Each structure stands twice: as C-alpha cells, then as structure tokens.
C-alpha cells in the first residue's frame, strides 16, 4: 500500500474529482497491474507540522510499504521557519522508515519574491532531508509546470494551484522516482 501525505497539490484542490496527479497515479498502477493500493491522506492547507501530527495514526491504520510526503509549500507560504519545516520532514521520514516503509519526498520551491536566499534554502531543505535519511526525492513536484514557458496557463486563477492539464506533468515528475520503490 502506498500512502500519500500531502497538501492541496495532492488533494485535488479546485479540480474535478479524479483528475489530480494522485488519482492519475492510481490509474497507472491499475493499468500496469502492479497490485498497489493508494490511500491519499492529503489535506488542503496542511503544513509539515500537521503532517507530522497525523502521520503516526496513518502509519498504524494503513501499514504502508511506501510513504510519499508532499508537504512544505504551505510552510513557506506562511513564512514558517525553515528549520522547523526541515525538522518536521525529518521526523516524518524517520517515523515512516521505523514503520517499515520506503519514503519518497516531493520537493517544492517558492517564487523568487520570497528573496533569493530564502528560496534557495527552502528548495535545498528537501534534498538535505532526503540525503541525510537516504530516501528518494523528487526535487521539484512542479517542474515543467511552474518553471515552464506555459506556466501561466497551467495554474488556476489563484496562481498557486495547478490545473487539470498540469497534473500529468506532476505525475511525470513523480513516476520515475516512485516506480523503483514499488518494485523493492
């Protein structure tokens, strides 16, 4: 079983049900007959603190073999301390590993208006946790969406949440990193 613990980017915020990247992942797993079930425990607006609080119960209830952590974007939007975000991601990663799960962290970036140093440090913290904990990493979940030439049309009017059209690209960022974890 694959557990996804994320925020609005994984919870289909503003999208028709069944069109988000996690739902597309579920369809791909079924089409390829890989025998994996997904539990999407993502909540719009969630932070790493919220995920850290919810994760122990999710691990006990679902006993996942793989945990995909897609949190941190709301931490940055709220200006929370980077050290806190990093500590929460580390704690979640260690808890999932202690429960016997393989872990994939989906990294995030923030727009440059947060300041160059903050933006760089924020992007780097995901890689820092993944390397320190020896887990898989998608460096930037929104690669090819937020940083592509057609970025404006791939976001909902709020300019935060990707459209249905962007979801296959997001899955395309996750799939090559996730697939080897599903074979282990």
**Which residues are catalytic, by number?**
8, 158, 161
Using an 8 Å Cβ cutoff, are 85 and 52 in contact? Answer: no
Our measurement of the distance from residue 41's CA atom to the centroid of its chain's CA atoms, rounded to an integer in Å, reads: 11
Strand order in the sheet with 38-40: 38-40, 2-6, 66-70, 102-106, 136-138
Using an 8 Å Cβ cutoff, are 108 and 47 in contact? Answer: no
Tokens of 60: 């006990």
Residue in 125, 109, 120 with CA at minimum distance from that of residue 160:
109
Euclidean distance between CA atoms 59 and 73, whole angstroms: 22
């Amino acid at each position: 079983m694959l557990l996804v613990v994320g925020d609005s980017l994984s919870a289909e915020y503003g999208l028709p049900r069944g069109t988000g990247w996690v739902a597309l992942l579920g369809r791909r797993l079924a089409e390829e007959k890989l025998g994996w079930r997904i539990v999407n425990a993502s909540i719009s607006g969630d932070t790493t603190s919220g995920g850290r609080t919810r994760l122990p119960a999710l691990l006990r209830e679902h006993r996942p073999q793989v945990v995909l952590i897609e949190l941190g974007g709301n931490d940055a939007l709220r200006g929370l301390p980077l050290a806190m975000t990093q500590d929460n991601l580390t704690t979640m990663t260690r808890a999932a590993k202690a429960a016997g799960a393989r872990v994939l962290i989906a990294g995030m970036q923030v727009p440059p208006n947060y300041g160059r140093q903050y933006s760089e440090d924020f992007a780097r913290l995901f890689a820092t946790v993944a390397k320190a904990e020896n887990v898989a990493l998608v460096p930037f979940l929104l690669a090819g969406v937020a940083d592509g030439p057609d970025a404006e049309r791939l976001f909902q009017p709020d300019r935060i949440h990707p459209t249905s059209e962007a979801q296959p690209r997001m899955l395309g960022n996750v799939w090559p990193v996730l697939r080897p974890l599903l074979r282990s």
